[in-house]
Structure 1
């Protein structure tokens, strides 16, 4: 199996292409600054992962900006802080400020010369615009939780992806390689629906972070530490 065998590459954005852990941590600094006993970065991200995934399961039709604001309110309660509605709203609107990984835009620009590129994201369209711009607006299609009505890891999101690929690009599951960092949000449901997957293991095998742990074992078909490493293998295949 080769990367070049696939005509369509589908991507998770946050954690894979956008450094959401840095973005989340930076956006939490106003809250942390006023806590008597602020959490460490790793502890804050782990709590965020638990709270965000619970919010997504409970309110699948909530726009991501509003869901992030709700997550922030719950973090305040968990950490014993004083409510600050304006601060929670600003946190919800921070997605566009989250930085891209250094290798992301260049890697996507290269891959776009050889494949159609689609992102399947838990974000809403308005919040995603800033992230797409940071990545060089490389997408042939942007599929958001806003239009699907549910959040990954829901199977419905991947069924929506397959339907759009078939309708818009004439592709079938065998033409798709799904590229993602999150085992929980992406690899478990993608493999369950029959997709081939590539794991961008940005945390280099370390658990935790802003992504919830998967409830079942999953084995991606490819594994890379970065997008740059994926591109290097792609170039080698074409040499």
Structure 2
């Protein structure tokens, strides 16, 4: 952390959600493990290798289908993980077309009745996002930070999937309830991070809706590649929440940031400390 970093100079925090606030890797691993136990037990037994295999599929799909809803990316990735793990042909396009949506505005849940039994497991994985759990420090930290900043998630998910997560974060702990000021999703924008367009959209909305200027925005995220790299390109300040993810930040020099903390709770403690000193 730079010695002159002052988090109190900012008015809005742009958050990554899955990996920063939510234990994304555990949610993904628990979701793909039953499949891998059947088709590739040796891969299933190694969390790092299983996640690496999965995210190779997911990243490929996000590049190929930038407007596909994230729930549908998950469903398709689950299906392709099975075929790639067994050197089989790619799954039928119905996983990402008929059974799930390929464009903004259609949800996997709306199509569930149309899928056959062999695809149901893939779509169920796509709908699992709201079951992924927050890190223990996340909710108390957000509740405090909400007293000092506009809190704005900028997430690579669809609106329906995020709503389940939002309910958990905002209301599940009675002593730490709060509200996000706004939520911007990949579905709203039509692209996935690390596309700088996602951050440009957030900056435009923050100025229009809250009068917050770019120099008053701080990006708080656990992924250097997905969040801090595009933040660097736009000249945004950033806080790196280094939770030690095994599938992220393989190159620690890919981006710069103003400060680094091991958890969101540690960052909130620093804000509280500096606020008390003023």
Query: How many residues of Structure 1 are paired with residues of Structure 2 in the alignment?
Result: 235
Is the 2:154–2:183 Cα contact (8 Å) retained in structure 1? yes
Is the 1:117–1:140 Cα contact (8 Å) retained in structure 2? yes
| 1:237 paired residue number | 274
Moved over 6 A (4+): none
| 2:28 paired residue number | 24
Inter-CA distance 133–81: structure 2 relative to 1 (3 Å threshold): farther
The CA distance in 2 between the partners of 1:10 and 1:98, in whole Å, is: 20
The CA distance in 1 between the partners of 2:208 and 2:70, in whole Å, is: 26
The CA distance in 2 between the partners of 1:75 and 1:215, in whole Å, is: 27
The CA distance in 1 between the partners of 2:66 and 2:139, in whole Å, is: 30
Please give the per-residue CA displacement for 1:126-165, whole angstroms capped at 9, x wherever unaligned: 0011111121163100000001000000111111011101
Larger radius of gyration: 2
Is the 2:74–2:125 Cα contact (8 Å) retained in structure 1? yes
SS at match of 1:28: helix
Matched, 1:192 2:241: no
Inter-CA distance 181–73: structure 2 relative to 1 (3 Å threshold): same
SS at match of 1:165: helix
What CA RMSD, in Å, does the superposition of the two structures yield over aligned residues?
A: 1.8
Matched, 1:43 2:49: yes
Query: 1:214 deviation in Å?
Result: 6.1
- Which protein has greater RCO, CA pairs closer than 8 Å, 6+ apart? 1
| 2:67 paired residue number | 61
| 1:108 paired residue number | 142
- Give TM-score scaled by structure 1 length: 0.93
Mark the runs of 5 or more structure 1 residues left unpaired by the alignment: none
208, 221, 224: which one aligns with 1:183? 224
| 1:6 paired residue number | 10
Is the 1:183–1:213 Cα contact (8 Å) retained in structure 2? no
Mark the runs of 5 or more structure 2 residues left unpaired by the alignment: 92-117, 172-178
SS at match of 2:41: coil
- Give TM-score scaled by structure 2 length: 0.80
Query: 1:172 deviation in Å?
Result: 1.1
| 2:263 paired residue number | 226
| 1:158 paired residue number | 199
The within-5 A match list for 1:109-128 is: 109-128=143-162
The CA distance in 1 between the partners of 2:13 and 2:165, in whole Å, is: 18
| 2:110 paired residue number | none
Is the 1:49–1:212 Cα contact (8 Å) retained in structure 2? no
The CA distance in 2 between the partners of 1:173 and 1:161, in whole Å, is: 10
122, 141, 163: which one aligns with 2:182? 141
Please give the per-residue CA displacement for 1:3-54, whole angstroms capped at 9, x wherever unaligned: 1110111100000000011111111122022124341111111122222111
| 1:88 paired residue number | 122
Please give the per-residue CA displacement for 1:89-128, whole angstroms capped at 9, x wherever unaligned: 1111110110010011110000000111101000100001
